[in-house]
Amino acid sequence: MKNLLFLSLLSFFSIAACTSQKKSTSISFLTPQPGLVSLGDTIKLQLDVPEDQTTDSVLYFVNNEPINKTIGNEPVYFNSSDLSFGDQLLTAKHYEKGEVAESSVAVTVVANKAPVQYSFSVVNTFPHDAGAYTQGLEYHDGVLYESTGLNGESSLRKVDLKTGKVLQQIDLPKELFGEGLTIVDDHIIQLTWEAGFGIVYNKNTFEKIKEFSYQASKEGWGLCYDGEKLIKSDGTNRIYFLDKNTYAETGKYIDVYNDKGPVDAINELEYIDGKIFANVYQTDKIIIIDPLTGQVESELNMIGLLPQKDYTPDTNVLNGIAYDHQNKRIFVTGKKWNTLFEIKMLER
């Protein structure tokens, strides 16, 4: 049925294009006005036509795709459920006696409900190297794997959870700034920040196997693995999906939105029970994202996690999430924090 409607509209547009010429008029959208639209809302489309003009028909488009036509200037109702988050261009072509006037309006589709709010309780604490500028964190086979950053200080580490002792380490060249990491089978994948490539290591020996280049996502920030594909952030509100074997972008991505708009500066990532947990750079919160839509479903407020007495001039922001899948334990820390915390989420 949708195909028949599309072909009918396409045929109508083609005929109209052959018989009409665009002209500049004062026609504009009566509704909607530029602004936010909640996903799933029904959008009323109608033009504001001056009294001295008549309307033969109006053709409506969303992002240049035809959606409906009217005889006269009757309103059209369009459900936004099939749209993705972000900016959407609504266009109308007004036909009057063989002449065409065009008007457009942009709306931004956002989440249709506010994130569920969580606080936390501390279940356990563990020592953490206060010199480690934590960029990526992973719990695997009973130990932590950590990527640290800063030029001249970046490294890949294997760390004993209980003692915080570094069991194995390889330092990156001074020109590289280490970022997120994850583990796929017997490989560790580590991102660099602005160098434009990631590094693949043997998990057991830390021997470098290969490098892979970034594509549309130009920077490396966070990385996790959902069991089928890699999930990568680049400091914007966009999250990219990568092939787990070639490390190439699949062409699929999600834009992360809450009910207010885009959530930028998405940093370290962890995949937990079907959701993406993400640090938001320079904030004390972790957001929980639907990997299919990009909607921020929940926010975990981590204010006060690190006691004030443990702050030093070098203490930096919250960053680093790891998950013990077998025992359902969540671990978090920060850049140059002296403690790694096991936490429990508490719904407010």
For the entire predicted model, the pTM comes to: 0.88
Answer yes or no: do 296 and 157 share one domain.
yes
Q: Rounded CA gap, 191 and 182, in Å?
A: 9
Domain of 137, in residue numbers: 116-347
Buried b (16+ CB within 10 A) or exposed e, 116-139: eebebeeeeebebbeebbbbbbbb
What confidence tens digit (pLDDT) does each residue in 174-220 have? Answer: 999 999 999 999 999 999 999 999 999 999 999 999 999 999 999 99
Answer yes or no: do 339 and 191 share one domain.
yes
Tally of domains in the chain: 2
Answer yes or no: do 313 and 229 share one domain.
yes
Cα Rg of the chain, angstroms: 25
Taking a C-beta distance cutoff of 8 angstroms, is the pair 110, 260 a contact? Answer: yes
Identify the pLDDT of residue 52.
Answer: 84
Answer yes or no: do 265 and 343 share one domain.
yes
Nearest to 276 by CA among 265, 264, 288: 288
Confidence bin at 7 (pLDDT 50/70/90): very low
Identify the pLDDT of residue 25.
Answer: 53
Evaluate whether residue 4 is within a structural domain.
no
Average pLDDT over every residue of 130-155: 97
End-to-end CA distance of the chain: 46
Domain with 271 in it: what CATH number? 2.120.10.30
C-alpha dist (Å) from residue 172 to 110, 169, 232, 246 = 40, 10, 20, 22
What confidence tens digit (pLDDT) does each residue in 14-49 have? Answer: 444 444 444 445 889 999 999 999 999 999 999 999
Using H for helix, E for strand and C for coil, what is the string for 41-76?
A: CEEEEEEECCCCCCCCEEEEEECCEEEEEEECCCCE
